[in-house]
């Protein structure tokens, strides 16, 4: 087994661990890179497709036509994963791209276009537009994740040690008796404007 095969196997194992939990995927690298790896991967990718379908159902709110298009794309992806032949892997990639584009709005149709250039060609918003909305609770959670990436560790002078998220929440409560996600966001924007911009403002 070559080094590149091992690296591919480990990358796939890490990917599957993120989706299904390390307890059910630990040690799969050899199965995903050695003899019989194609069958092993197809079996597990079938499970990935099942989870993709669940993720779409739980996270995408859209119209009936779009729901049917997404279900059709999932069905095509399942069929591609079950196909056999020299081009079957390429077919899986093509159908996965179809699913991605459908999620963005709809499958583009440039069949009769001489060239595919310009903004209009890449716009998929003729019948629907993708838009990510955030509740106040989701925004607070995003701030917490941002602060965790900024946390350089606990100070040795502090006991008990406090992470940056805890410090920020304590700083808020020192000046505010009431807590709500909206009040915290207003306070954070005023007290930490640069961090607020870094989290929410697109450059």
Asked whether residue 140 falls in the same domain as residue 87, the answer is no
75-94 residue pLDDT tens: 999 999 999 888 888 999 99
Give which of 203, 170, 175 is closest to 190, Cα–Cα: 175
Task: Count the domains in the chain.
Answer: 2
For residues 135-160, one letter each, b for 16 or more C-beta atoms within 10 angstroms of the residue's C-beta and e for the rest, the string is eeeebbeebeebbeeeeeeeeeeeee
Q: Mean pLDDT of successive 10-residue segments in the chain (203 residues)?
A: 61 87 79 68 90 96 96 97 89 96 93 84 92 94 90 51 83 92 95 93 76
Residue 63 within a domain? yes
- Contact (CB, 8 A) for 46 and 81: yes
Give the integer Cα–Cα distance in Å for 78 and 95.
9
Give the integer Cα–Cα distance in Å for 52 and 62.
16
- Contact (CB, 8 A) for 16 and 44: yes
Residue 181 within a domain? yes
Asked whether residue 163 falls in the same domain as residue 117, the answer is no
38-65 residue pLDDT tens: 777 888 899 999 999 999 999 999 999 9
Domain coverage including residue 60: 36-122
Residue 19 within a domain? no
Give the integer Cα–Cα distance in Å for 197 and 4.
41
């Amino acid at each position: 087994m070559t080094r590149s095969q091992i690296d591919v196997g480990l990358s796939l194992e890490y990917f599957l661990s993120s989706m299904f939990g390390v307890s059910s995927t630990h040690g799969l690298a050899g199965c995903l890179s050695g003899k019989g790896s194609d069958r092993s991967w197809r079996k597990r990718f079938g499970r990935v497709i099942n989870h993709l379908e669940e993720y779409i159902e739980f996270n995408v709110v859209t119209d009936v036509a779009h729901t049917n298009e997404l279900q059709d794309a999932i069905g095509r992806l399942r069929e591609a994963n079950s196909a056999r032949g020299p081009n079957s892997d390429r077919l899986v990639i093509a159908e996965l791209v179809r699913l991605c584009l459908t999620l963005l709005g709809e499958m583009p149709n440039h069949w009769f276009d001489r060239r595919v250039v310009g903004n209009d060609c890449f716009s998929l918003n003729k019948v629907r537009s993708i838009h990510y909305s955030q509740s106040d609770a989701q925004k607070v959670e995003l701030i917490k994740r941002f602060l965790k990436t900024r946390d350089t560790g606990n100070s040795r002078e502090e006991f008990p040690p406090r992470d940056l998220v805890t410090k920020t929440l304590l700083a808020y409560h020192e000046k505010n008796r009431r807590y709500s996600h909206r009040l915290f966001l207003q306070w954070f924007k005023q007290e930490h404007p640069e961090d607020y911009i870094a989290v929410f403002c697109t450059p």
